[in-house]
Chains A and B, each alone.
Chain A
Amino acid sequence: MRISSRWWLALALVAVASPAAAQGAGDWTTYGGNDWNQRYSKLKVITTANVSQLGARMVFQTGIAKLGSFENTPLVVDGTMYVTTPYNTAMAYDLNTHKELWRYEHKLGTTIYCCGPNNRGLGIHGGAHVYMGTLDAHLVALDAKTGKVLWDKEVADPSYGYSITHAPLVIGDNVIVGVSGGEYGIRGHVTAYNAMSGEQVWRWYSIPAPKGDATFDDKAPNGWWGTWAPKAETNDLHRDIAKEKADSAKYADAWQKGGGGVWTTPAYDKDLNTIFVSVGNPSPDLDGSVRPGDNLYTDAIVAIDATSGKTKWYYQTVPHDVWDLDATSPPVVTTVGGKKVVVHAGKTGWVYVLDAATGKLVRRSDNFVPQENMFALPSDKGTRMLPGANGGSEWSPIAVDPNSGYAFVAALHQPMNYITHNAPLEKGKLWLGSAFVAIPGEEQYGLYSAVDLKTGKIAWQNKVPQPMMGGALATAGGLTFTGEGNGNFNAYSSRSGKLLWTFNGGAGCNSAPMTFMHGGEQFIAVACGGNFQLSYPLGNSVYVFGLPKRTAMKK
């Protein structure tokens, strides 16, 4: 059959405009690498055989004096790299000339955020517009070519504790954005905005309201009180449910300030027309006595209809959380044994594999960090708690290799005492931190693990000197990449976990890396600018690694 030239033109235009097509060409067009958030690239110029030759081919320094947690994953579209800084400056670099094309500095108003300034990146729409969420809870649309502001919307009032740190997700003509602020008595939400006009399309609340409220959610008929679950799967939560029920009337309005930030980038499945989000902790974090009930949908993975913004299903990992072991790492969609699943690495130290259509638990993996006294309550003398309050897996995105079925998880081992008194008052420190006290003399370290999603077993595990926060990348070249707080950026064999290459970036490489093709070469990029919360050395560099020019050309 002959196709007319008009059809060819139409196909070409679709290919240019479609992020999926662009990614096929070697661009990295969304925070998680694709709509499924897999952080897996089919690129395989860089392999286990040649990765030892990797070197820094470009270094982009933001030049920003005010440093914070540099958690950005750059985007690359059509020869341009887009980067954001912890205090919401967005910038574009030309990969041919290595010159800065533009920068946009957001003038921050009132800001409030719990765990250090950060921003994880941008969303992009059709290659023409980029979107940044800000610490003062705005969503800003910029012209991708010039950095000029197209529109700027206040998503929520920042004086109430709202902020935005994650990279927005672009689906069709909608920009999807959640909010941080679970430490400040917010009511979390996810909002869809029209990419062109900035008009709100829908808003989904992460704390379901009781019957009678305009925002009542029929998937939670008992509101945020839920089903009074005594266990998290097989683990006893040590709840006094009778007392909680008795206190319900007294704290009937607690849901209005129930927390539930959605502060990492959701995943999206086109066939199911569903967005999958991780919902953070209830508010207040630790004092469960003032918020009786399961505190839905905190600590949950929730499926939301992408068109209507209505809840489809939820899976709560920790009902009535008083340990801050919430759901923060971004959810990932993949297939396991022919079934479409949603994967989440919890602060609890387990990887959850859920049926993407129903939310039913398919399996919970073996623990990828040591666990002890799971869900034990605090005591006067201190209850030894493993994992500590940071997890497990914190916000760090996992990577999933769909061929091997491995999920690569960067995790923390921080033994802590969970105590109810005698915490010293430290001026200027976040008060919450005093709740959990590191156990003197006990080693803290990081663990980088491959979790076999087919079996739930740990396929391999590497120990690194410091607790890990940043994220993972996997490629078809048989490699997985991740960084450390000491500045090391590492490549491992994804099959065996063998360390094959390392580079020290001079500051903590505490961001999720990405990869792209440019000029016929494959590159790996990572922001090495440290982490404020863990006191890892700060910096402002984005490293771009490639093979030596000659080797690359041979390919």
Chain B
Amino acid sequence: MSGFLAGRFVCAMAVTRWWWMTLVLVAGSVLATSAWPGQAPERHWLGVNGTDWKRMGPDARLAYVEGFLAGAAVSQAAAGARDSAGVRTGLEQLSRSGRFRFPFAANVYASRLSDFYWWKNHLPLPTWYAFLEVNTTLGRPISDSVP
């Protein structure tokens, strides 16, 4: 499932190098099949929500988050790139400067998403939305001289 997510993000950014998307999809699928056997929710990734999240084991949750983060990072890098080399350069620059839109590691998001879905009435909320909510609460790079 994490492959779906990564792939869709790349599609959304209209990257012209299709082989790159294929690579992400394949990598994501391998990740998903190895870490999430028999637990894949039946619904489309856009509809994956807290009910699915609660069914996943810890490894599957981490795999899902890794897939989401990879997809988001690639799409962010691809937005300013002209070709695959540009995507790679963009990824490296974003990583070095700490400017990923989702800047934290998978354990952080997995932990916060678990808290997010602790409550029953949040279960219908889609996971992509939960990601955005959690990311908003996690803060940004700041310093005393930048009010």
**Contact A425 to B143, CB < 8 A, known contacts A157-B105, A159-B105, A160-B104:** no
Binds A, one of B1-9, B25-33, B41-49, B107-115: B107-115
Quick one: CB contact mask for A235-253 with B, threshold 8 Å, 1 for yes?
Answer: 0000000000000001101
Complex contacts, B58 vs chain A, CB 8 Å: 251, 253-254, 290
- Report Cα–Cα, A434/B119, bound state, in Å: 9
Which residues of chain A (203-244) have a CB below 8 Å from chain B? Answer: none
What residues of B have a CB within 8 angstroms of the CB of A421 in the complex?
119-121
> Is A257 interfacial (CB-CB < 8 Å)?
yes
B104 smallest CB distance to A (angstroms)? 5
A284 to B116, CA, bound (A): 11
Residues of chain A contacted by B133 (CB below 8 angstroms): 425, 427, 431
| Distance of A425 Cα from B50 Cα, bound (Å) | 14
Contact at B108–A111, with CB atoms within 8 Å? Answer: no
- Chain B residues with CB under 8 Å of A64's CB are 144
**Cα distance A181–B103 in the bound complex, in angstroms:** 16
Contacts of B139 in A (CB 8 A): 111-113
Is A186 a contact partner of B107 (Cβ separation < 8 A)? Answer: yes
Cβ-defined contact, A431 with B137, below 8 A: yes
Q: Is A107 in the interface zone, CB < 8 Å from B?
A: yes
How near does chain B come to A374, taking the closest CB pair, in angstroms? 21
Q: How far is the CB of B133 from chain A (nearest CB, A)?
A: 7
Check if A490 is an interface residue, CB within 8 A of chain B: no
A440 within 8 A of B: no
Given known contacts A161-B105, A421-B121, A422-B119, A431 and B144 CB-to-CB distance under 8 angstroms = no
Residue of A nearest to B129 (CB): A425
In the complex the two chains form, is B122's CB within 8 Å of A285's CB? no
Whether B57 lies near A159 (C-beta < 8 A) is no
A15 contacts the other chain (Cβ, under 8 Å)? Answer: no
Q: How large is the interface on A (under 10, 10 to 19, 20 to 34, 35 or more residues)?
A: 35 or more
Query: Which of B103, B108, B144 has a CB less than 8 Å from the CB of A88?
Result: B144
Among A89, A254, A286, contact of B118 (Cβ-Cβ < 8 Å) = A286
Q: How big is the B interface, by class?
A: 35 or more
Who on chain A is nearest to B119 by CB? A423
Assess whether B147 is interfacial by the CB under 8 Å rule.
yes
**B115 engages A284 (CB within 8 Å):** yes
User: Nearest chain B CB to A110's CB is how many angstroms away?
Assistant: 5
Closest chain A residue, CB of each to CB of B98 = A110
On chain B, the residues within 8 Å of A111 by CB distance are 139-142
- Whether the Cβ atoms of B115 and A431 lie closer than 8 Å is yes
Determine if B143 and A107 form an interchain contact, defined as CB atoms under 8 angstroms apart: yes
Q: Would B107 and A184 count as touching, CB distance under 8 A?
A: yes
Q: Is B91 positioned at the interface, with any CB of A under 8 Å from its CB?
A: no
Q: Are A87 and B108 in contact (CB under 8 A)?
A: no
B14 at the interface (CB under 8 A from A): no
A108 to B107, Cβ gap below 8 A? no
A508 to B36, CA, bound (A): 50
Q: Which of B57, B136, B138 is most buried by chain A, counting CB atoms within 10 A of its CB?
A: B138
Per a CB cutoff under 8 Å, which of A85, A157, A432 touches B115?
A432
Q: Which of B111, B120, B136, B138 has most chain A Cβ within 10 Å?
A: B111
Looking at the assembled complex, report how far the CB atom of A179 sits from the nearest CB atom of chain B, in whole angstroms: 14
State which residues 90-134 of B face A: CB under 8 Å.
Answer: 98, 103-105, 107-108, 110-112, 114-116, 118-122, 125, 133-134
Q: Are A109 and B98 in contact (CB under 8 A)?
A: yes
The answer to whether A85 touches B144 (Cβ under 8 A) is yes
Output the least CB separation between A133 and chain B (Å). Answer: 16
Contact B115 A285 (CB under 8 A): yes
In contact, B141 and A159 (Cβ under 8 angstroms): no
Interface members, chain A 265-318 (any B CB < 8 Å): 283-287, 290
User: Lowest 10 A-B CB distances belong to which pairs?
Assistant: A185-B111, A185-B107, A421-B120, A160-B105, A184-B108, A87-B144, A161-B108, A89-B144, A110-B98, A65-B147
Query: Can you list 25 A-B contacts (CB < 8 A)?
Result: A66-B144, A66-B146, A66-B147, A87-B142, A107-B143, A109-B141, A112-B104, A112-B138, A117-B142, A159-B104, A161-B105, A184-B108, A184-B112, A254-B58, A257-B107, A257-B110, A284-B111, A422-B120, A423-B121, A429-B137, A430-B137, A431-B133, A431-B137, A435-B115, A435-B118
Q: Told that A110-B103, A431-B137 touch, could you supply 8 new A-B pairs with CB distance under 8 A?
A: A64-B144, A66-B144, A107-B143, A112-B138, A112-B139, A290-B58, A423-B119, A430-B137
B interface residues with partner A (beta carbon < 8 Å): 57-59, 98, 103-105, 107-108, 110-112, 114-116, 118-122, 125, 133-134, 136-147
